[in-house]
Each structure stands twice: as C-alpha cells, then as structure tokens.
C-alpha cells in the first residue's frame, strides 16, 4: 500500500503532552518529508515569512509556540508557553484535536509514525534552520528591481528557493525543496512568459545577492537586494524572457568567481501532448436515476467511493482529480421525502488523502461529514432520513474543504416530493465547477493544483461536468423538437456563483434554489445558482439546432465553460425564420 499523505491544516500552534524521543525514528533523508509536507501547503509555507491560513513553518523546530510577530494565533496557542521540539510536534501531528480539545483546526492528524517522522525531519532541514537563526528578520523583503510586466498581487507559475552556502570550499547557491533540493548551483527551468519567483536565503552570514542575466526591463540584468545577515532573505519576481540559457550569479565582488553561478534555461511553451489515453472523468449528463414515482417511503442504500485519478481536463491536458465514484460530478442520487437513506462511503486504498461527504439534504451535524471522515482503505456508514424535498448538493468536507471541492468532489441528490415530479421527456444532470492549476489555461501536459490561486479565487478553468469539452464533445445533450427537457443544475464551486442560461431558449418553469415545494417561476431567461446551490429548469423545444449552455458571466466561456444541446426535428418557420445563411457568431 502506498504511503498515505494527509490533508493540510497542520497549524502548529498549541499542543499538550509528549511522547518517547524520536531520534531513532528521524533519519537524514527528507525526501519523504517534502512529499508529506506538500499536502500541508494549502495552509502552510516552508518559506520564511510567508504566512497563509497557518503560520510559516520555516524554522519551526526549536521555535517557541506563538512567536511569529503579527500572526493571528488562537488563544490556546498564545497560552501554550512551549517549544516546538520533535516530541511535541509528533504529539500534535498524531492528533491535534486529541492533543488540544477545542482546537479550531479541522485536521485529523498523521496516523502513520513514519509520516510524522518524515515531515519533522523535513522541517528540521537547512532552510528551516536558516530561517530560525534570524528572528530579527522573519519576513522576506521584495526586491526593488521589479519587472513591470509582473503585476502587483501576482501568482507565480514557477517558484524556486535558493540559499547561500559553502560546498567543497566554494561559495555556492544550494537548492531547497522540490527537484533542486540540496543541488549545488542547480539549473533552474521555466517556459518563456512564465512568472518566476526566486527566494534567496542567506545561509552562512556573508552578504550576497542574485542576478539573472537579461531578465529585467528591456533585457537588462535583474538584480535582487542584498541579504546581509544569516537567515535574512529576499524575493524577486520576473517574467521569463526569450528562449535560451542564461546565467544567474552573485554580483558582489569576487563571489561569482568563487563559485556562485548557475544556469537558467528558458524553453518554449510545451508542445501539445496527446491526452487520447487519459481517463474521461466527466459525468454523462444523461445518467440520471429514474423517477421515483408514487411509491411509499422505504430504505435506500447509497454507495460512494472516493477515488483519486488522473483524468483529461482538456485536449492535451491532464489533471489529478479527487472524485466520488471516479467521475466529476459524482453520481446523481435520487430518493423521496421520508426515505431512510443508508450512506456507505469507502475511501479507495490507493488514496493519499482522508475524504468525506457532507449532504446538504441531511439534518444533523456536518451534513454527515462529522462522522464520515474516512481514511484510505476504510468504509464508514451513516443513516439519515430525507425530511425536505428538493435538489441538494453533496461534497467532500475534509480540510481544506475548498481544495477537495475544487479537485472534483461534489455531486447532487434529488429528494422528490410525495408523488414525484411531473413527467418530462428528458432529464439531464449538469454541475459547474472551477479548477485551479499552477499553469495558465490551455497549457498542455499534466497540470498541478495551485493553492495560491485557490485562496486568491483565481481559477484557470471553469467547467461543466468536470472538464473542458465534457458537454461539447464527450457528452453532448440530445433531444428532439416537441420534447420537454428538465435540467438538474448545480454549482460545486467552490467559489463562484453561476448565471445559468441556455442561449436561444426561455425556461418555461424554474424551481429557484431547487425549491420544489413552491410553485415554479415561469418565463425565466437566466437563473442565479450559488456555490453549494442548485436549480431545476424545464423548457419545451420548438426549433431544431444547437443550443448553448453557459454561465452568462461570459468571460468564463473563454476558460472552458460551455455545453451543447443538439435538437433534431423539422424546421419551425412560424417560430424562427431566417432569411440568410448561418454565419459564425460570438457564441
């Protein structure tokens, strides 16, 4: 079974108790620790002075709890009066809520001792120790030599951290983190046009800077501020210029000659790579359960399995999705008011994360998620009674909740009223979501999740049913003239409200907010659907052709948000009569 890496949320702020010494368990290799810590990056940074939801963990080992100036610690953290030694870290990481009852952290701990040992060893690494050595300068400064093409509030495409040091008697830069960890004067790589962020940490006390050839305005060299004291740091950001290989170096007298020089390779944007073999994770909108009809309440079993899988995000582009039952959205569920719903949720043994489910249709703590946090390989059960009819979202509610939702963990459950809904010819299941990738929209290859863009609410992709093209290529909606269509439409989000609209149609009946107890609205052009909300919209098709499903915040169409309803049948000149040939429109 693969190593289990757990969710973000390790706000190392307060802890009680201790365990046996860990010196035997913690080795010299920090590679595994870096992998474990990657799951913590939603809430924490290992870069000095970079606070997120939780404080920076650079230099945390040996640091007094609650000591980062300006960070909004909890009361329990402020009163902890302790030092983060390995024993205290291990106790906390094994179960924050057990260590400190009442903690506001929504994190379930690292159950595997080797994972805790690895991440503690990672946090004891050179960059962390360097940061700890400079309490007078906890935050990184930003270089004055800014690239004017990089806007304020930028989100980098590529980040590197270097520290100064001595290797084999030479002054050098030493890589920290990722593929350059521990590498002397590592070759740095980026694509032309990428925004690059470089953090330079002073590792041994002599003054240094870093210069990137030809990366400044109008092709001049770009130079950072000097870092003068051990533990001090600076950050520069710039946009990679023309393709080729240039040098980076320290410009202080004698330092480049003494060994502080490396190469920065700038490639063209990657060529398209085929995604033909990628898994299609998009949900077929026609896969709706059959209507309940007029049956009495009964017991209904629901089986969900959380599966992490690489899938096709767009042509030539893949993404690592977290899913319910292998699709985005997860399966549409259908019960009637009064049913007893038995939920069985299994977390795939190969998952790297804890997962859960929160049903908005549930009356009870956490929508069920309070009791359905499931470790990889485990299964849990919860029963609930469907009390109120309507169309409800369900989603993963494991910290960071927005991260799990953005990666695809959402779906809907319809609780039909007594007697069911009026019959229609077709029912379709559509959900809108956002995807936050490190690379920009349209870049080919495998894309990584960006916590920075998630927290800034700057998605690269807006999608229907999980992927670009899901409803225009893989699973177009089909109907005929004279038929009635019902759309079950919801927004997984996690952040953006949809102004849902079908171009060329008017909704005959709309159940706003999926309220099926009130009379529907009639003659509606566009309906607002919030994150975690839903709508039911119905209309009769009168004219053949292609109809577009959109969010009428139409800039999102340019980021992938589009669906097609293909309508076959005889022309209807009494309703729609063109006098010229069709031409391409902005739609």
What is the pLDDT at residue 4?
A: 34
**Position 142 confidence tier, pLDDT thresholds 50, 70, 90:** very low
> Are 550 and 561 in contact, with CB atoms under 8 Å apart?
yes
Lowest mean per-residue pLDDT among 192-201, 205-214, 301-310 = 192-201
What's the whole-number mean pLDDT along residues 260-268?
A: 95
Q: How far is CA 444 from CA 250, 271, 328, in A?
A: 34, 7, 21
**Position 177 confidence tier, pLDDT thresholds 50, 70, 90:** confident
In 70-114, the DSSP E strands lie at none
**Which secondary structure element, helix H or strand E, spans residue 200, and what is its range?**
strand 195-201
**Position 102 confidence tier, pLDDT thresholds 50, 70, 90:** low
Handedness of CA 440, 441, 442, 446 (dihedral sign): positive
Please check the confidence at residue 106 and state whether its pLDDT lies above 60.
no
Backbone angle region of 442, left / alpha / beta, with phi > 0 → left and psi within -120 to 50 → alpha: left
Specify the residue for token string 């669906």: 563
What's the whole-number mean pLDDT along residues 226-236?
A: 89
> Are 326 and 307 in contact, with CB atoms under 8 Å apart?
yes
Q: How far is CA 437 from CA 448, 460, 490, in A?
A: 5, 6, 22
> Are 408 and 419 in contact, with CB atoms under 8 Å apart?
no
What is the pLDDT at residue 64?
A: 82
Lowest mean per-residue pLDDT among 76-85, 189-198, 299-308, 464-473 = 76-85
Please check the confidence at residue 90 and state whether its pLDDT lies above 90.
no
Q: Rounded CA gap, 198 and 158, in Å?
A: 9
> Are 123 and 192 in contact, with CB atoms under 8 Å apart?
no
Q: Which domains does the chain have, with CATH numbers?
A: 31-128 (1.10.760.10), 141-267 (2.60.40.420), 299-568 (2.60.40.420)
What is the pLDDT at residue 79?
A: 76
What is the pLDDT at residue 181?
A: 82
Q: Give 405-417 pLDDT, tens digit per residue.
A: 999 999 999 999 9
**Position 107 confidence tier, pLDDT thresholds 50, 70, 90:** low
Q: Give 412-454 pLDDT, tens digit per residue.
A: 999 999 999 999 999 999 999 999 998 889 888 889 898 889 9
SS (H, E, C) 294-323: CCCCCEEEEEEEEEEEEEEEECCEEEEEEE
Q: In percent, how much of the chain has pLDDT > 90?
A: 62
- Bridge partners (DSSP) of residue 537 are 487, 510
- The secondary structure of residue 568, as a DSSP letter, is E
Specify the 3-state DSSP secondary structure of 523.
Answer: strand
Q: Rounded CA gap, 53 and 73, in Å?
A: 10
Q: How many CA atoms lie within 13 A of 516 on its CB side?
A: 22
Q: Rounded CA gap, 94 and 103, in Å?
A: 14
**Which secondary structure element, helix H or strand E, spans residue 247, and what is its range?**
strand 244-249
Specify the residue for token string 């289990």: 4
Q: Rounded CA gap, 489 and 464, in Å?
A: 10
CA proximity to 242, closest of 223, 262, 264: 264
Please check the confidence at residue 288 and state whether its pLDDT lies above 50.
yes
Does 532 or 271 have the greater pLDDT score?
A: 532
Q: Give 300-324 pLDDT, tens digit per residue.
A: 999 999 999 999 999 989 999 999 9
What is the pLDDT at residue 304?
A: 98
Please check the confidence at residue 265 and state whether its pLDDT lies above 90.
yes
Q: How far is CA 341 from CA 336, 337, 359, 412, 456, in A?
A: 10, 10, 11, 14, 37
What's the whole-number mean pLDDT along residues 470-484?
A: 97
Q: Rounded CA gap, 493 and 513, in Å?
A: 15
**Position 22 confidence tier, pLDDT thresholds 50, 70, 90:** very low
Please check the confidence at residue 389 and state whether its pLDDT lies above 90.
yes
What is the pLDDT at residue 39?
A: 65
Beta 299-314 vs 317-324: how paired, if at all? Answer: antiparallel
Q: Rounded CA gap, 541 and 312, in Å?
A: 32
Lowest mean per-residue pLDDT among 293-297, 404-408, 580-584 = 580-584
Please check the confidence at residue 401 and state whether its pLDDT lies above 90.
yes
- Most confident segment among 7-16, 120-129, 461-470: 461-470
- Bridge partners (DSSP) of residue 178 are none
Q: For the beta carbon of residue 559, count every other beta carbon within 10 angstroms.
A: 17
What values do phi and psi take at 199, rounded to 5?
Answer: -105, 125
Mean pLDDT (the chain, rounded): 85
Nearest-5° angle of CA 84, CA 87, CA 90? 90
């Amino acid at each position: 079974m693969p190593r289990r890496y757990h969710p973000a949320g390790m706000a190392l702020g307060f802890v009680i108790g201790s365990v046996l010494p860990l010196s035997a368990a913690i080795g010299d290799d920090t590679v595994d620790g870096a992998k474990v810590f990657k799951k913590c990056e939603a809430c924490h940074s290992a870069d000095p002075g970079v606070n997120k939801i939780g404080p920076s963990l650079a230099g945390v080992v040996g640091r007094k709890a609650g000591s980062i100036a300006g960070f909004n610690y909890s009361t329990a953290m402020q009163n902890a009066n302790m030092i983060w030694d390995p024993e205290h870290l291990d106790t906390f990481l094994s179960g924050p809520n057990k260590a400190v009852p009442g903690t506001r952290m929504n994190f379930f701990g690292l159950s595997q001792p080797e994972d805790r040992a690895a991440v503690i060893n990672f946090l004891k690494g050179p960059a962390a120790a360097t940061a700890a050595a400079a309490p007078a300068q906890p935050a990184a400064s930003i270089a004055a030599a800014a690239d004017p093409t990089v806007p304020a509030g930028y989100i980098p495409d590529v980040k590197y951290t270097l520290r100064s040091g001595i290797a084999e008697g030479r002054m050098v830069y030493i890589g920290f983190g990722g593929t350059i960890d521990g590498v002397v004067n590592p070759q740095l790589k980026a694509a032309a046009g990428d925004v690059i962020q470089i953090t330079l940490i002073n590792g041994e006390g002599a003054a240094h800077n870093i210069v990137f050839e030809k990366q400044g305005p109008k092709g001049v060299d770009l130079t950072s501020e000097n870092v003068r004291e051990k533990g001090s740091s600076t950050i520069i950001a710039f946009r990679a210029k023309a393709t080729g290989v240039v040098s980076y170096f320290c410009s202080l007298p004698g330092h480049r000659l003494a060994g502080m020089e490396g190469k920065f390779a700038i490639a063209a944007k990657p060529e398209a790579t085929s995604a033909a073999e990628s898994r299609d994770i998009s949900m077929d909108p026609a896969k709706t359960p059959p209507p309940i009809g007029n049956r009495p309440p009964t017991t209904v079993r629901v089986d969900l399995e959380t599966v992490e899988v690489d899938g096709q995000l767009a042509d030539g582009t893949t993404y690592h999705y977290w899913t319910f039952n292998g699709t985005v959205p997860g399966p549409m569920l259908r019960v009637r008011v009064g049913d007893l719903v038995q939920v069985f949720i299994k977390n795939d043994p190969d998952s790297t994360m804890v997962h859960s489910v929160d049903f908005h249709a549930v009356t009870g703590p956490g929508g069920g998620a309070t009791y359905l946090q499931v470790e990889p390989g485990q299964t849990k059960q919860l029963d609930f009674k469907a009390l109120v009819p309507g169309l409800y979202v369900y989603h993963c509610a494991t910290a960071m909740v927005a991260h799990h939702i953005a990666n695809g963990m959402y779906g809907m459950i319809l609780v039909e009223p007594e007697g069911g809904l009026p019959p229609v010819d077709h029912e379709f299941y559509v959900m809108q979501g956002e995807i936050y990738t490190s690379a920009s929209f349209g870049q080919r290859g495998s894309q990584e999740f960006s916590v920075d863009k998630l927290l800034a609410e700057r998605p690269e992709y807006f999608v229907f049913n999980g992927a670009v093209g899901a409803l225009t290529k893989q699973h177009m909606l089909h109907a005929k003239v004279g038929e009635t269509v019902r759309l079950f439409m919801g927004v997984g989000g996690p952040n953006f409200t949809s102004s849902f609209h079908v171009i060329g149609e008017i909704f005959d009946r709309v159940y706003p907010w999926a309220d099926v107890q009130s009379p529907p609205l009639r003659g509606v052009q566009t309906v607002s659907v919030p994150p975690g909300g839903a709508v039911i919209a119905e209309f009769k098709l009168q004219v053949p052709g292609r109809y577009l499903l959109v969010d009428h915040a139409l800039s999102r169409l340019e980021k992938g948000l589009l669906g097609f309803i293909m309508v076959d049948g005889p022309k209807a000149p009494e309703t729609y009569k063109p006098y010229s040939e069709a031409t391409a429109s902005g739609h």
